[in-house]
Amino acid sequence: MAADEKPTASVWTRPGRPQREQLTREQIVAAAIELLDLEGIEALSMRKLGSRLNTAATSLYRHVANRDELIQLVVDDIYGELDLPATADRARWRAAVTGIAAGLRAMTLRHPWIAPELGQVGLVHIGPNAMRMTAGLLAQFEAAGFPADEKDQAVGTLTAYVIGIATSEAAYLSSLARSGRTEQEWVADLRPAYDDASRQHPGLRDGNSARQDVPPRQIRDDDFSYGLDRVLDGLTARLRA
Protein backbone atom coordinates (compact mmCIF):
# COMPACT_ATOMS: atom_id res chain seq x y z
CA MET A 1 0.00 0.00 0.00
CA ALA A 2 1.37 3.42 -0.95
CA ALA A 3 2.34 5.77 1.86
CA ASP A 4 -0.41 8.26 0.97
CA GLU A 5 -3.09 5.62 0.35
CA LYS A 6 -5.70 5.23 3.08
CA PRO A 7 -6.98 1.77 4.03
CA THR A 8 -10.66 1.03 3.44
CA ALA A 9 -12.61 2.29 6.43
CA SER A 10 -14.63 -0.28 8.33
CA VAL A 11 -15.59 -0.81 11.93
CA TRP A 12 -14.45 -4.41 11.53
CA THR A 13 -10.85 -3.50 10.59
CA ARG A 14 -9.87 -1.67 13.74
CA PRO A 15 -9.89 -2.79 17.38
CA GLY A 16 -12.71 -1.68 19.63
CA ARG A 17 -12.12 0.60 22.57
CA PRO A 18 -12.32 -0.60 26.16
CA GLN A 19 -15.79 -0.20 27.65
CA ARG A 20 -15.15 2.10 30.60
CA GLU A 21 -18.40 4.03 30.45
CA GLN A 22 -21.94 3.21 31.42
CA LEU A 23 -23.01 3.59 27.77
CA THR A 24 -22.03 0.56 25.68
CA ARG A 25 -21.74 -0.11 21.96
CA GLU A 26 -24.54 -2.67 22.29
CA GLN A 27 -26.87 -0.03 23.75
CA ILE A 28 -26.02 2.35 20.92
CA VAL A 29 -26.75 -0.29 18.29
CA ALA A 30 -30.05 -1.29 19.93
CA ALA A 31 -31.21 2.34 20.11
CA ALA A 32 -30.19 2.91 16.49
CA ILE A 33 -32.27 -0.08 15.36
CA GLU A 34 -35.30 1.24 17.24
CA LEU A 35 -34.88 4.63 15.59
CA LEU A 36 -34.41 3.13 12.14
CA ASP A 37 -37.46 0.88 12.48
CA LEU A 38 -39.57 3.86 13.53
CA GLU A 39 -38.33 6.55 11.16
CA GLY A 40 -36.13 5.01 8.46
CA ILE A 41 -32.54 5.43 7.36
CA GLU A 42 -32.84 9.14 6.56
CA ALA A 43 -33.69 9.88 10.20
CA LEU A 44 -30.50 8.38 11.60
CA SER A 45 -27.98 10.93 12.81
CA MET A 46 -25.52 10.80 15.67
CA ARG A 47 -27.12 13.86 17.26
CA LYS A 48 -30.63 12.40 17.10
CA LEU A 49 -29.42 9.07 18.42
CA GLY A 50 -27.60 10.83 21.26
CA SER A 51 -30.83 12.57 22.24
CA ARG A 52 -32.61 9.23 22.24
CA LEU A 53 -29.97 7.89 24.63
CA ASN A 54 -29.95 11.06 26.75
CA THR A 55 -26.32 11.73 25.98
CA ALA A 56 -24.25 14.02 23.78
CA ALA A 57 -23.28 12.89 20.29
CA THR A 58 -19.65 13.14 21.35
CA SER A 59 -20.21 10.22 23.73
CA LEU A 60 -21.23 8.05 20.78
CA TYR A 61 -18.02 8.83 18.93
CA ARG A 62 -16.07 7.09 21.67
CA HIS A 63 -17.63 3.83 20.44
CA VAL A 64 -18.13 4.39 16.69
CA ALA A 65 -16.12 6.69 14.45
CA ASN A 66 -19.03 7.90 12.33
CA ARG A 67 -22.52 7.16 11.02
CA ASP A 68 -21.21 4.73 8.39
CA GLU A 69 -19.58 2.59 11.04
CA LEU A 70 -22.78 2.64 13.07
CA ILE A 71 -24.74 1.35 10.07
CA GLN A 72 -22.25 -1.48 9.62
CA LEU A 73 -22.78 -2.49 13.24
CA VAL A 74 -26.56 -2.21 12.97
CA VAL A 75 -26.76 -4.28 9.78
CA ASP A 76 -24.63 -7.03 11.26
CA ASP A 77 -26.69 -7.05 14.46
CA ILE A 78 -29.81 -7.63 12.37
CA TYR A 79 -28.10 -10.45 10.48
CA GLY A 80 -27.92 -12.06 13.92
CA GLU A 81 -31.71 -12.55 13.80
CA LEU A 82 -31.28 -15.35 11.24
CA ASP A 83 -31.83 -18.88 12.51
CA LEU A 84 -29.34 -21.13 10.72
CA PRO A 85 -29.35 -24.96 10.63
CA ALA A 86 -26.91 -26.53 13.06
CA THR A 87 -25.85 -29.18 10.54
CA ALA A 88 -25.56 -29.66 6.78
CA ASP A 89 -26.99 -32.82 5.25
CA ARG A 90 -26.86 -33.83 1.58
CA ALA A 91 -30.42 -35.19 1.76
CA ARG A 92 -31.82 -31.95 3.22
CA TRP A 93 -29.67 -29.24 1.67
CA ARG A 94 -32.50 -27.80 -0.44
CA ALA A 95 -34.93 -27.57 2.49
CA ALA A 96 -32.20 -25.94 4.60
CA VAL A 97 -31.34 -23.38 1.92
CA THR A 98 -35.04 -22.62 1.42
CA GLY A 99 -35.36 -21.93 5.14
CA ILE A 100 -32.34 -19.60 5.17
CA ALA A 101 -33.65 -17.72 2.12
CA ALA A 102 -37.09 -17.31 3.69
CA GLY A 103 -35.46 -16.08 6.90
CA LEU A 104 -33.36 -13.51 5.02
CA ARG A 105 -36.45 -12.19 3.24
CA ALA A 106 -38.46 -12.03 6.49
CA MET A 107 -35.57 -10.22 8.20
CA THR A 108 -35.50 -7.62 5.43
CA LEU A 109 -39.26 -7.04 5.56
CA ARG A 110 -39.16 -6.59 9.35
CA HIS A 111 -36.61 -3.81 8.81
CA PRO A 112 -37.46 -2.35 5.35
CA TRP A 113 -34.83 0.40 5.63
CA ILE A 114 -32.09 -2.25 5.58
CA ALA A 115 -32.78 -3.40 2.01
CA PRO A 116 -30.47 -0.89 0.24
CA GLU A 117 -27.73 -1.61 2.79
CA LEU A 118 -27.83 -5.33 1.95
CA GLY A 119 -26.99 -4.43 -1.63
CA GLN A 120 -23.66 -2.96 -0.55
CA VAL A 121 -20.53 -4.94 -1.31
CA GLY A 122 -17.16 -5.21 0.40
CA LEU A 123 -16.21 -4.82 4.02
CA VAL A 124 -19.74 -4.15 5.21
CA HIS A 125 -20.27 -7.93 4.90
CA ILE A 126 -17.40 -9.06 7.13
CA GLY A 127 -19.21 -8.63 10.42
CA PRO A 128 -19.49 -11.83 12.50
CA ASN A 129 -23.20 -12.42 11.90
CA ALA A 130 -22.98 -11.79 8.15
CA MET A 131 -20.01 -14.15 7.96
CA ARG A 132 -21.96 -16.75 9.96
CA MET A 133 -24.81 -16.60 7.44
CA THR A 134 -22.49 -16.91 4.45
CA ALA A 135 -20.59 -19.79 6.08
CA GLY A 136 -23.90 -21.51 6.84
CA LEU A 137 -25.01 -21.29 3.22
CA LEU A 138 -21.63 -22.47 1.96
CA ALA A 139 -21.87 -25.50 4.25
CA GLN A 140 -25.25 -26.42 2.76
CA PHE A 141 -24.02 -26.13 -0.82
CA GLU A 142 -20.90 -28.11 0.05
CA ALA A 143 -23.04 -30.86 1.59
CA ALA A 144 -25.18 -30.85 -1.56
CA GLY A 145 -22.10 -31.71 -3.62
CA PHE A 146 -21.21 -28.45 -5.33
CA PRO A 147 -17.50 -28.31 -6.24
CA ALA A 148 -15.28 -25.84 -4.42
CA ASP A 149 -15.15 -23.45 -7.39
CA GLU A 150 -18.97 -23.23 -7.58
CA LYS A 151 -20.01 -22.94 -3.93
CA ASP A 152 -19.43 -19.19 -3.78
CA GLN A 153 -21.28 -18.68 -7.06
CA ALA A 154 -24.24 -20.70 -5.81
CA VAL A 155 -24.42 -18.62 -2.64
CA GLY A 156 -24.13 -15.41 -4.66
CA THR A 157 -26.92 -16.48 -7.03
CA LEU A 158 -29.26 -17.33 -4.17
CA THR A 159 -28.63 -14.19 -2.12
CA ALA A 160 -28.89 -11.97 -5.22
CA TYR A 161 -32.39 -13.34 -5.84
CA VAL A 162 -33.52 -13.02 -2.22
CA ILE A 163 -32.09 -9.54 -1.65
CA GLY A 164 -33.36 -8.33 -5.02
CA ILE A 165 -36.97 -9.35 -4.48
CA ALA A 166 -36.90 -8.35 -0.79
CA THR A 167 -35.63 -4.89 -1.72
CA SER A 168 -38.57 -4.43 -4.09
CA GLU A 169 -41.01 -5.66 -1.46
CA ALA A 170 -39.50 -3.46 1.23
CA ALA A 171 -39.89 -0.36 -0.95
CA TYR A 172 -43.51 -1.29 -1.64
CA LEU A 173 -44.30 -1.91 2.04
CA SER A 174 -42.61 1.37 3.01
CA SER A 175 -44.88 3.20 0.56
CA LEU A 176 -47.86 1.44 2.10
CA ALA A 177 -46.81 2.49 5.59
CA ARG A 178 -46.50 6.13 4.53
CA SER A 179 -49.95 6.02 2.92
CA GLY A 180 -51.65 4.90 6.13
CA ARG A 181 -53.65 2.28 4.19
CA THR A 182 -53.67 -1.49 4.46
CA GLU A 183 -52.30 -3.57 1.61
CA GLN A 184 -55.82 -4.82 0.86
CA GLU A 185 -57.09 -1.23 0.59
CA TRP A 186 -54.14 -0.19 -1.59
CA VAL A 187 -54.76 -3.02 -4.06
CA ALA A 188 -58.53 -2.46 -4.11
CA ASP A 189 -58.05 1.24 -4.89
CA LEU A 190 -55.59 0.45 -7.68
CA ARG A 191 -57.62 -2.32 -9.32
CA PRO A 192 -60.02 -0.16 -11.41
CA ALA A 193 -57.14 1.82 -12.90
CA TYR A 194 -55.20 -1.40 -13.62
CA ASP A 195 -58.23 -3.02 -15.26
CA ASP A 196 -58.70 0.03 -17.48
CA ALA A 197 -55.00 0.21 -18.41
CA SER A 198 -54.87 -3.51 -19.26
CA ARG A 199 -57.86 -3.57 -21.64
CA GLN A 200 -55.53 -3.56 -24.64
CA HIS A 201 -53.40 -6.35 -23.14
CA PRO A 202 -55.55 -9.46 -22.59
CA GLY A 203 -52.67 -11.48 -21.16
CA LEU A 204 -52.17 -8.96 -18.36
CA ARG A 205 -55.88 -8.73 -17.68
CA ASP A 206 -56.37 -12.51 -17.54
CA GLY A 207 -53.45 -12.99 -15.18
CA ASN A 208 -54.70 -10.29 -12.84
CA SER A 209 -58.26 -11.63 -12.88
CA ALA A 210 -57.08 -15.12 -11.98
CA ARG A 211 -55.65 -13.85 -8.69
CA GLN A 212 -58.01 -11.03 -7.82
CA ASP A 213 -59.54 -12.96 -4.90
CA VAL A 214 -56.18 -13.99 -3.44
CA PRO A 215 -54.95 -11.86 -0.49
CA PRO A 216 -52.08 -9.58 -1.61
CA ARG A 217 -49.69 -10.92 1.02
CA GLN A 218 -50.29 -14.48 -0.16
CA ILE A 219 -49.55 -13.39 -3.72
CA ARG A 220 -46.22 -11.93 -2.57
CA ASP A 221 -45.40 -15.10 -0.63
CA ASP A 222 -46.34 -17.31 -3.57
CA ASP A 223 -44.30 -15.22 -6.01
CA PHE A 224 -41.26 -15.37 -3.74
CA SER A 225 -41.57 -19.15 -3.35
CA TYR A 226 -42.02 -19.63 -7.09
CA GLY A 227 -38.87 -17.68 -7.93
CA LEU A 228 -36.87 -19.35 -5.16
CA ASP A 229 -37.93 -22.81 -6.34
CA ARG A 230 -36.87 -22.00 -9.91
CA VAL A 231 -33.46 -20.76 -8.72
CA LEU A 232 -32.99 -23.95 -6.72
CA ASP A 233 -34.23 -26.05 -9.66
CA GLY A 234 -31.45 -24.57 -11.73
CA LEU A 235 -28.83 -25.21 -9.06
CA THR A 236 -30.12 -28.78 -8.59
CA ALA A 237 -29.78 -29.34 -12.33
CA ARG A 238 -26.12 -28.34 -12.06
CA LEU A 239 -25.62 -31.09 -9.48
CA ARG A 240 -27.27 -33.66 -11.71
CA ALA A 241 -25.10 -32.57 -14.63
* Residue 149 near residue 204 (C-beta atoms within 8 A): no
pTM of the shown model = 0.84
Q: What is the pLDDT of residues 160-205, one digit of tens each?
A: 999 999 999 999 998 888 888 888 888 888 888 877 887 788 777 6
Q: What is the mean pLDDT of residues 3-21?
A: 59
- Confidence (pLDDT) at 160: 92
Q: Tell me, which fold does domain 90-180+211-240 have in CATH?
A: Tetracycline Repressor; domain 2 (1.10.357)
- Confidence (pLDDT) at 203: 73
Long-range interactions of 125-130: CB distance < 8 A, separation 24+: 126/10, 126/12, 127/12, 127/72, 127/73, 127/75, 127/76, 127/79, 128/76, 129/76, 129/77, 129/78, 129/79, 129/80, 129/82, 130/75, 130/76, 130/79
**CA distances for 71 relative to 76, 80, 241, angstroms:** 8, 14, 42
| Structure confidence at residue 17 as a pLDDT band (50, 70, 90) | low
20 pLDDT more than 70: no
Q: What is the mean pLDDT of residues 58-73?
A: 91
**Which CATH superfamily includes the segment(s) 11-79?**
Homeodomain-like (1.10.10.60)
- Confidence (pLDDT) at 187: 83
Q: How far apart are CA 22 and CA 137, in angstroms?
A: 37
Residues of the chain with CATH 1.10.10.60: 11-79
Q: How far apart are CA 82 and CA 60, in angstroms?
A: 27
**Percent of the chain's residues with pLDDT above 90:** 62
Mean pLDDT of the chain: 87
8 pLDDT more than 60: no
Residues of the chain with CATH 1.10.357.10: 90-180+211-240
Which amino acid, one-letter code, is at 100?
I
Which is it for the CA torsion 137, 139, 145, 151, positive or negative? positive
224 pLDDT more than 50: yes
238 pLDDT more than 80: yes
* Distant-in-sequence, close-in-space partners of 24: CB < 8 Å, separation ≥ 6: 63
| Structure confidence at residue 122 as a pLDDT band (50, 70, 90) | very low
